[in-house]
């Protein structure tokens, strides 16, 4: 699974390992953190892999290296992502262009290339779960590339659900709102943090473990007929029809 050294990815890796899976723990530049996840994860025999998902060849080969290290693939989880602020009215052209390029490479093209690399090894009846965002639906005015990349990831998952159904491979997506992670840390600081928490009638944001539980269910226990679904996981902070 991608982006597994911290935050949501770490929680997903630990949850899948606790369910009995051997896990390929991917990171880009956090070797020590990824090693710590591998040591903490139940079951042992996990694999730690480094790759820059902005590089198409590294993204494609990551899945193949994971299959080699694990002796095959049953589940692929695309979790890695970046969130970069670039408000349209306050961003210069060079930053705007660079931010769009980097965000789409990591958040959308990266998962697409990981799946392409995985298909040779992914077992028939396997599962692909993508981690998207509430922002794909409500918009991200200060980070439009992030919102657009996650909307594209939703569409990618639905396209793959149709394309891979003949192999009985299910493809689903989880769309969280704010989660207590390093990525969201700045937004959760006072005074803005109170307003963010108030977006949910529960008066809080999600824990990484809650999102991980949704991913684990889709990866292991959800019925095949869930394929193509996008599962909201935002504490009723954003309701769509």
- pTM, 2 dp: 0.95
Whichever domain contains 97, its CATH number is: 3.40.50.720
Residue 48 lies in a domain: no
Quick one: average pLDDT of 37-53?
Answer: 97
pLDDT higher than threshold 80 for residue 187: no
Beta strand spans in 40-152 (E): 47-50, 73-78, 122-131
Structure tokens of 193? 């943090």
* Residue 185 pLDDT class (50, 70, 90 cuts): confident
Average pLDDT along the chain: 96
**Is residue 147 one of the residues assigned to a domain?**
yes
Q: Is residue 29 part of a domain?
A: no
- Whole-number pLDDT of residue 204: 95
**Domain for residue 60, yes or no?**
no
DSSP character for 147?
H
Domain tally for the chain?
1
Q: Return the closest-CA partner of residue 103 out of 142, 148, 134.
A: 148
**Is the pLDDT at 189 greater than 80, yes or no?**
no
Q: What is the mean pLDDT of residues 230-235?
A: 98
**Above 80 in pLDDT, residue 166?**
yes
Task: Give percent of the chain above pLDDT 70.
Answer: 99
CA distance 146 to 97: 13
55-63, Cβ contacts within 8 angstroms, sequence gap of 24 or more: 56/109, 56/113, 59/109, 59/110, 59/113, 59/114, 59/117, 60/113, 60/114, 60/116, 60/117, 61/117, 62/2, 62/26, 62/114, 62/117, 63/114, 63/115, 63/116, 63/117, 63/118, 63/121
pLDDT tops 80 at residue 74: yes
Q: What is the pLDDT of residue 192?
A: 83
CA 123 vs CA 39, 120, 169: distances in Å: 27, 8, 8
Is the confidence at residue 153, as pLDDT, over 90?
A: yes
- The radius of gyration of the chain from alpha carbons, rounded to an integer in Å, stands at 17
Is 146 annotated in the active site?
Answer: yes
Classify residue 117 by burial, with Cβ atoms within 10 Å: 0-12, 13-18, 19+.
Answer: buried
Token pair belonging to 173: 């997506």
User: Is residue 6 very low, low, confident or very high in pLDDT (cuts 50, 70, 90)?
Assistant: very high
pLDDT at 7: 95
Q: Which two tokens stand for residue 138?
A: 């409500």
pLDDT band for position 181 (cuts 50, 70, 90):
confident
Catalytic, out of 146, 152, 171, 230: 146
> Do 108 and 136 form a contact (C-beta atoms < 8 A)?
no
Q: Which domain holds residue 114?
A: 73-233
Does 44 reside within a domain? no
H or E element that contains 38: helix 31-40
- The residues facing 175 across adjacent strands are 232
Whether 151 maps to a domain, the answer reads yes
Instruction: Assign 120 a pLDDT band (cuts: 50, 70, 90).
Output: very high
- Taking the C-alpha atoms of residue 105 and residue 111, their distance in angstroms, rounded to an integer, is 9
**3-state class of 150 per DSSP?**
helix
């Amino acid at each position: 699974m991608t982006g597994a050294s911290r935050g949501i990815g770490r929680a997903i890796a630990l949850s899948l390992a606790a369910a009995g899976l051997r896990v390929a723990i991917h990171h880009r530049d956090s070797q020590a953190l990824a090693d710590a996840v591998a040591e903490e994860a139940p079951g042992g025999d996990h694999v730690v892999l480094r790759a820059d998902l902005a590089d198409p060849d590294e993204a494609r080969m990551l899945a193949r290296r994971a299959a080699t290290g694990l002796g095959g693939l049953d589940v692929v989880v695309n979790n890695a992502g970046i969130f970069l602020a670039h408000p349209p009215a306050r961003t210069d052209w060079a930053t705007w262009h660079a931010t769009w390029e980097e965000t789409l490479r990591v958040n959308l093209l990266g998962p697409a290339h990981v799946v392409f690399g995985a298909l040779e090894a992914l077992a028939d009846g396997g599962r692909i779960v993508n981690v998207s965002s509430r922002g794909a639906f409500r918009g991200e005015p200060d980070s439009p590339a992030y919102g657009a990349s996650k909307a594209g990831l939703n569409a990618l998952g639905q396209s793959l659900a149709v394309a891979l159904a003949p192999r009985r491979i299910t493809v689903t997506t989880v769309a969280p709102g704010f989660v207590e992670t390093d990525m969201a840390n700045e937004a959760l600081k006072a005074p803005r943090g109170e307003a963010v928490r108030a977006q949910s009638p529960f008066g809080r944001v999600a824990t990484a473990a809650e999102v991980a539980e949704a991913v684990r269910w889709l990866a292991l226990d959800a019925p095949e007929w869930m394929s193509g679904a996008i599962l909201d996981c935002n504490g009723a902070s954003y309701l769509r029809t």
